[in-house]
Every structure is written in structure tokens, then in C-alpha cells.
Chain A
Amino acid sequence: MSPIGKKTFQPALALSVAGLFALLLANTSPVLIFDVAGRIQAGYIVTGIKELFMQGYWPIAALVFVASMLAPAVYLSSVAYVSAACSMKLRLPWILQALRLSEWTEPWNLIPVYSIATVVSVVKLRMIGAVSWNDGARWVLAVALLTLFAQQVFERRLVEHRLEALGLVTNPEDA
């Protein structure tokens, strides 16, 4: 009998799905509202990327886009997909590719660092004008925490064993 219970994969599934919802909200709500002498500007995650691109610094814009939007979305989606398959014992297509994708994108998923940068930017902006947190900042923090917890509970070794039990891999090294 497999020592891996159904519940083993459920925390990763729950955290990654919650993380995806939080990421969606983090990207659709303003992170900060900045006010200097009555002139107000709201900043979304994508606003910074767009602004860097407009200034001609597209490599930086691309890096920020990958690390704060694309990699978190791909990482959380692939963890959710693999965890769902393992939890419900489903033989879903491209499961090995999804597992590899989660490994490749994990080091590039830097939303926890982004949340700290948001705190530092508030401190800096307070030197210039009035700045206030908005819902987007709370969702960024939520994504950061959910990502960190998901990374802790999503264990490749257990996934490999489950995939082996499902007959999707014969040798865990293949995964």
C-alpha cells in the first residue's frame, strides 16, 4: 500500500489555487496610491513594467514581468495541476511537463521579494509625498505568503512516488 495519503497533496492544491486567485486580484488592483501636492497617481504591478518599457529599459521590464507576473502564474498553475492530479489520482495529460515547469519557474517566482520591495518603496515615497497602501499591496502580500507555503508543502519526491504508482513514470529519475 502506498504510504502517500490523499491529503498529502491537498495543502499544495489549496495553497496554489488560492495563490492564483490572489495573483489575479494583485494584478487587477492598484498597489499604491501616491499623492504629491494634490496630484494623485495609482500604481499597478503592470504600470511599473509598462513605464520601464516606455523609458527604453525593456530588459528590466521583461525581467520584472517574468519574475512578478509570468513565473508566479506559471508556477502556481503547474503546482495546482500536478497536485490536483496526484490528490485525485487522475492520469492528466502533460503531467511530467507540468512538474518540470514548476521546477523551472520556482526560482523565477519572486513575488515574495516584490512584496518587500513594495514596503521599501512606501518608505522612500513618504520622503516625497503622501503614499497609501491599496488592495493590490495586500493581495501581493497574500500571493507571497501562499507561494512560500506552497513551496514548503509541494514535495517533488512525493509527487514522483504518486506518478510512479499511477504508472506515469517507471523511473522517478525520468520525472
Chain B
Amino acid sequence: MPDVTDSLRVSTARALVTTGALLYIPSNVIPVMTMTVAGKTEQLTVLGGVKELWDSNLPAIAGVVFLASFVVPFLKVVALGWILWLHGTDRHQGARDSIHRIVHRIGSWSMIDIFLLSVLAAVGQLGALGSVTAQPGAIYFCGVMISCLLAAEIYKPRLIWESRSHTAP
């Protein structure tokens, strides 16, 4: 029988994934940074940054940022939500286990936008000539990232197999 710690793990992971899903919307709507270039200020959302790279004829870099900053967080929320939705049932246990491991492995790549902001803020402090400042969207983006990372850490893959047997195959 699952112990109290395990049920606490499941409910905490569910709460974290719900938080991540709720924060995902503002993280993509509200700008994450403001860039000032030669006196002209522009606010950039996650997708705005991708579009800027695409418009600059850098499709490969735009693709990497799009995948890491937009697709991966979305898939993480959906995948963890699906895994937790089916918790305690026998359905798709093998697939859930594999997806959990993939989420755990690739999930951290969504931090690329936050690190990008940090590197740009480090060198982009030249006033009107060229500067970068953070915007509230970055806080929501961090929230999505931390919620999903903690949820994947708290909900151990062994819990997926609990309904059929008490140990992983």
C-alpha cells in the first residue's frame, strides 16, 4: 500500500504542475526583457525573441530557442499532467515511465531563456547605446521552470508502477 509520504508526493507534484500550467500563460504573454538599441526600446516576449532571431536570418538559433523556451515547457506541463492524471491506474505505465525520464532529461533546457537574459543583462548595460533589462514575464517563466523541475523530482518514476506492483519492473 502506498504510504503517506507517497501520497504527499503525488499531491505536491499535482499542485506544482497546476501552478506551472497557470504560470505558462503569463510567461508567454508578458514581456521577459526590454532591449534598448541606439535609443530605441523594444519589449520582447519569449516568442518575440524567437521572431527577432528568425527575422535576422538565423533560423537554426531561432529553432533552438523556440524548442527550448516555448515547446519544452509546454510539453513538460502536458506530459507531467498526463502522468499524474493516470497515477494509480494500470494504463500506459511503460509509456509514462519513459516520458517521465525524457521530461527529467530535457526539462532543464527551458532555462535557456533565463540564462540568455542573465548574459545579455551582464554585458548590455551601455545605457541608450545598448542595454537589456528584465521584465515581469521572466518571473513567471522562472515559476514554470521551477514548478515542473520540482514536480518531476518529487514524483519518482517508481510511483508510476504502484498500482500494479510495489516495485519497478
Stretch at the interface among B6-14, B91-99, B134-142: B134-142
Residues A113 and B109 in contact, CB atoms below 8 Å apart: yes
Interface hits, A112-140 → B, CB 8 Å:
113-114, 116-121, 123-125, 127-129, 131
CB distance from B27 to the nearest CB of A (A): 12
A92 within 8 A of B: no
B77 within 8 A of A: no
> Secondary structure of the B side of the interface?
helix
Distance, CA A67 to CA B149, complexed state (A): 12
Residues B58 and A123 in contact, CB atoms below 8 Å apart: yes
Evaluate whether A116 and B114 lie within 8 angstroms (CB atoms) in the complex, with A59-B142, A131-B123 already known: no
A172 within 8 A of B: no
On chain B, the residues within 8 Å of A49 by CB distance are: 118
Distance, CA A60 to CA B137, complexed state (A): 11
A5 within 8 A of B: no
Residues A107 and B153 in contact, CB atoms below 8 Å apart: yes
Interface hits, B124-145 → A, CB 8 Å:
124-126, 129-130, 133-134, 138-139, 142, 145
Number of residue pairs spanning A and B whose beta carbons lie under 8 angstroms apart: 134
A146 within 8 A of B: no
Interface hits, B79-135 → A, CB 8 Å:
104, 108-109, 111-126, 129-130, 133-134
Q: Which residue of B lies closest to A129 (CB)?
A: B130
Residues A55 and B126 in contact, CB atoms below 8 Å apart: no
On chain B, the residues within 8 Å of A48 by CB distance are: 117-122
Query: Size class of B's contact patch?
Result: 35 or more
Residues A107 and B149 in contact, CB atoms below 8 Å apart: yes
Residues A55 and B121 in contact, CB atoms below 8 Å apart: yes
**5 shortest A-B CB distances, which residue pairs?**
A43-B122, A117-B115, A48-B118, A48-B122, A43-B123
26 contacts across the A-B interface (CB closer than 8 A): A31-B122, A32-B122, A41-B124, A44-B122, A48-B120, A48-B122, A60-B114, A63-B114, A64-B114, A67-B111, A67-B115, A68-B118, A107-B104, A108-B149, A113-B108, A116-B109, A117-B111, A117-B116, A118-B115, A118-B119, A119-B61, A120-B53, A120-B112, A121-B119, A121-B123, A125-B120
